[in-house]
Amino acid sequence: MGVSPHTAVAIAQIALFAPLAPLTTYLLIRNWKYRPRTAWYPPAIFSLIRTAGGVVTIIEEQNPSKEIVITTIILLNIGLIPLLLAYLGYARLVLERDFGEITRVKLFLRILKVMILISTGLLGAAGGDAGKPEKADEQATLSRAAYALFVIVLVALIASFVGLSLNLGQIRRANRIYVKWALVAAVPLVVRAIYGILGVALAAGVNIFTSDWSPLFGSAVAFGLMGLLPEFVVVCIYVYLSMHYLRTAKREADVEGRSKQGLSDTS
């Protein structure tokens, strides 16, 4: 008996994210004292979720049941939430350091965080309706509303990083690396968002069992190339930036401390 395409993708999913789980957890622990913490904990949680999702998918392929199917669908659909939350974390890291005194910047970041929380709640409510045919239309509506908010947040964050890249002279040199790599991460994030949009548009509700854009019942190739691969690339970028921050944070704090000490001595 051969391995099904979804089982093969699930094995690849575990192979990609299982090694990242302890690494991102280590970076989370080491960077926890530094803010914004939203840059550190989402990659760790996401890597664990993706690893668990791969395991549950294999179980579902071997011994399908209603409970396992619902759990698998929920785990596979959690993609943009932690990735966007960490993306917002890196935007906060730059904006709060260099423009933190500007009221509009604080309001902008606060609004985006609230929008992510609302969209997460909507997606959670949609997940709660999974496996209930009588609530298929409601599930589809909630999923589409959640992804509409996700897209608005993603576009706003990409636009902010583009704006920062055009005004690098106003950003401290240590923060420019985060702007650069955030723009690189924008490409796979957009690909992942497109896959999610196609999923909620064409594979939500009763169409989840028949559409090619369903992560569990649709095309395994599409899920692997437009879902898992972009996610893996983004998490790797976050790992690199977390490691960079870990190497440089203490040195920057020491420099700032000496600068403040020098100013106090001359006053």
pLDDT in tens, 204-215: 767 777 788 888
Q: What residues have CB less than 8 Å from 70, skipping those under 6 apart?
A: 127, 130, 131
Residue 193, pLDDT > 50, answer yes
Dihedrals phi, psi of 204, to nearest 5 degrees: -90, 160
Residue 245, pLDDT > 60, answer yes
Dihedrals phi, psi of 131, to nearest 5 degrees: 80, 5
Asked if residue 115 is part of any domain, the answer here is yes
pLDDT one-digit tens code per residue, 113-135: 999 999 988 888 877 666 666 77
Total count of domains within the chain: 1
User: Comparing 42-46, 61-65, 188-192, which segment has the lowest mean pLDDT?
Assistant: 61-65
Q: In the predicted model, what is the mean pLDDT of residues 190-209? A: 83
Asked if residue 260 is part of any domain, the answer here is no
Asked if residue 99 is part of any domain, the answer here is yes
To the nearest 10°, the Cα dihedral for 194, 218, 237, 19? 170
Question: Is the link from the previous residue into 36 a cis peptide, with omega within 30 of 0?
Answer: yes
Give the C-alpha separation, 47 to 78, whole Å: 11
pLDDT of 258 = 52
Question: How many angstroms separate the most distant Cα atoms in the chain?
Answer: 79
pLDDT of 252 = 67
Asked if residue 133 is part of any domain, the answer here is yes
Cβ atoms 37, 27 nearer than 8 A: no
pLDDT one-digit tens code per residue, 68-108: 777 777 777 777 889 999 999 999 999 998 987 888 999 99
Give the C-alpha separation, 140 to 208, whole Å: 10
Sign of CA dihedral 191, 193, 196, 202: negative
> What CATH number corresponds to the domain at position 52?
1.20.1070.10
Angstrom CA distances, 213 to 1, 65, 91, 94, 217, stand at 26, 21, 30, 36, 8
**Which domain, by its residues, includes 175?**
5-247
Q: In the predicted model, what is the mean pLDDT of residues 170-177? A: 91
Asked if residue 254 is part of any domain, the answer here is no
Asked if residue 259 is part of any domain, the answer here is no
pLDDT of 131 = 61
pLDDT of 122 = 87
Asked if residue 214 is part of any domain, the answer here is yes
Predicted TM-score (pTM) of this structure = 0.89
Asked if residue 109 is part of any domain, the answer here is yes
Share the mean pLDDT of the chain: 86
Cβ atoms 88, 153 nearer than 8 A: yes
Could you tell me how far CA 101 lies from the centroid of its own chain?
27
